Structure 1
Amino acid sequence: MSNSFFERANPPPRRKTCLACIKAKRRCDHGQPACLRCSRRKIDCVYTSISPMSRSKKKQTAVSQLVETLPTQEDPESPTETPASVAEQTPCPGNSLISWPIDADPLPLEMEVGDLGDMNLDMGFDDLWTPETLLNDSLPLSSLTPRPEQMLVPSRDPSQDLPPEGSLEMIASRLQYALDEIKKVPASIVLENQTPWSHPYLFRAHMPRDMQDAQACCALYIAKNPTNAPFVLRTIQARAHEMLSTPIPKGRLDVIARLQATLLYQIISLFDGDISMRASSQQALPALEHAMHTLLPFVRWESAQQESGQMDCPTKETWNEWIFQESARRTLFFTNFFIIAYKVLVGRSIGRCEDRYDFCQSWTLSAHLWKASTVVDFAVAWRERRHFVVTNEGFGEVLRDAAADDVETFGRMLIVAGLGIEETRLWFYNRGGSL
């Protein structure tokens, strides 16, 4: 824990700062006979406001020496204080990408308070960041918007960072296509009642409350403009916080609705560009992991390639079951993809892929099955068109045997992530299609 942590524990009175703290541009606690910072560093602590007659000749000499060593414009090579300017320089834990001293004051200025009365001038940066302070207690968002150290780019062990070489090229080649499609999700869930991982008929019979609120927030987000943006974002944050503060439900439809709603809030938060939205997204990432574990027991995986005609006489019940199972498989698969993409974008190590195999065992690639609007269309697609079961072993069979019209948006996103944008475009071109 830094020395400045203890120095700031006791806000300073309105008195002159010692010369050593003025020189280092650090907050002084005005302790007597020496401030805490000077006593910890074992340096002379001198207050210029104290009458010279009350000081010894030795102290007066120390003042003169200290003033002479202050850096000036004529002496640009004067060394700065090593503990404050070098040893304590670390990346700012929070939303800043710029190095900043750990114990730096937001406004290290000296001023006369004059007749300001009871005005509190000791409010720190943490106080200013509190949403209740900004909103005059109109909306309790303290648990939703984190402190600066919990922002989008958290403090981390540099040894776990991804190497920078080629990272931007990799993002442009493998992730940008998926990111562009993800940005369309708030509109597609409102206008088409679907996402690449959620079938349009998944909630046709009943839509749980979590998904109702998330879909309504997406509609509100689409209507956002510079005038209503603060109110729209505040409402979305409040709905997300309200949902995440309640226990995860037990029913399988309610569970998948919770996971998909959390995904929608995360997408809005990460891609909006508002700093408080990104902060709330950073806090909600563990909720995605928890919701995934809750949905996992309800999922039935396809462990091997099935023949197209294996299902005899598909019924409406088997179609509805396939809709839920395929939506659940894709939702788990995409949530893992989303978390990994987030870590890549912020420069974090993605860990071992094998650790996530439980959530990515299989999903079905078939645009004809996914887009079937009736049970008859589904039966025809199942019996007369080939579909592919994609497992964690990759897209080998798909790339060898699939046609361009077999692959819909979800498959395109993942194939681009695996091959790269140019190779995927070439694959579609060779099969008479286009990306």
Structure 2
Amino acid sequence: MRWFIFIIIVAVADYYAFQSLRTITKSNWWYILYWVFTVAVIGNFVYQFYGFSRSDGFSHTNAYAVGFLIALVVPKLVLIAVMFTEDVFRVPQGIYSYFMQGSDNGDSVKHFPARRKFISQIALGLAAIPFTSILYGMYKGKYNFKVLKYTLHFDDLPKAFDGYKLTQISDIHSGSFDNIDKVKYAVDLINEQQSDVILFTGDIVNNKATELEPYVPIFNKLKAKDGLYSVLGNHDYGDYVRWNSEDDKKQNLENLKSLQKQIGFDLLLNESRFIEKNGERIALVGVENWGKGGFKKAGDLKKASEQINKNDFKVLLSHDPSHWDAQVVNDDYHYHVTLSGHTHGMQFGIEIPGWFKWSPVKWRYKRWAGIYEELGQYINVNRGFGYLAFPGRVGIWPEITVIELKKGSQKANA
């Protein structure tokens, strides 16, 4: 029944959007092309998800079915919005004409002003913007890696770490990749930054450890003189698929931990490590996933910090940025830098670096992309290395973050 309702709603909305095309052309070929594309996309979506089983996970064909549906629906929402705006004026005119001039033998349709061609042209032109943007995001945007560099200043940074560089990556989601050469390129780009340490903040897979296996020989090329460290994200626990048994689920997590070790990551499971230099040190603290809104809360900040001192300079790895506001920023231990991910910036938005950034995800997460500061502490929310569900990115590009720590009191510079 839900599929029937879905198709009826889409068909009604589609026919309304179709009016813009009818206004500017009388060619049956364009009409046929419009409906063939529409039926093919909707039909493929229904085919991919009718009887969808969570035990199988979310495949590439599922992702592209979602992607093409979005490419179909979003532009048509623009068309509908413009056509409806025209009808706000057109319908009252028709009603007024009908009652003031008479029914004219019952033919009420002729009282409505004809749709204006230039309005339909505007509607189609506006709809073309999200249509081409979404297709670009699926074809190239998802691998349009950007290196974002920040400098953070701290009065209490140990002098030996003045100029110390961290590279953060997050949300690899290896099960979504469909171009291994682009992943190789991104790994080379990470190594080119020549940072002192590489920190990964969770979600290395969508659901299953097997997704990571083809990419282990690529990611184990990552190099940093002080090592590679990681934490788990909500997707790494395998909570979003149905397993044959709880033992299978536990084994999947153990396999994932083993693969991370093969890559070279030191996986921090509510643990800490010290990086020492010239008799001074900074602490790396890693918590398991902790997220608001129904997400797993395996993270234990107190346990992770048991081996460090309150006065240590601290870099915290915590996958979900909601953890920062809920537990971290007001903690007595004062975590100087927190590195998170999780939001992906929703893989959709508008950014003009240094001037403007917007994404619908801002209505869900207070900290959703970039650097935020409060009480002398910073959090960076990485936009993610990979992608999930929608097989693309529009305006919010995959990110490699490089943070340089400087001794002093100047504010953050991007």
Is the pair's TM-score, using the shorter chain for normalization, greater than 0.5? no
Please give the TM-score of this superposition, normalised by the length of structure 2. 0.29
Please give the TM-score of this superposition, normalised by the length of structure 1. 0.28
Larger helix fraction of residues: 1
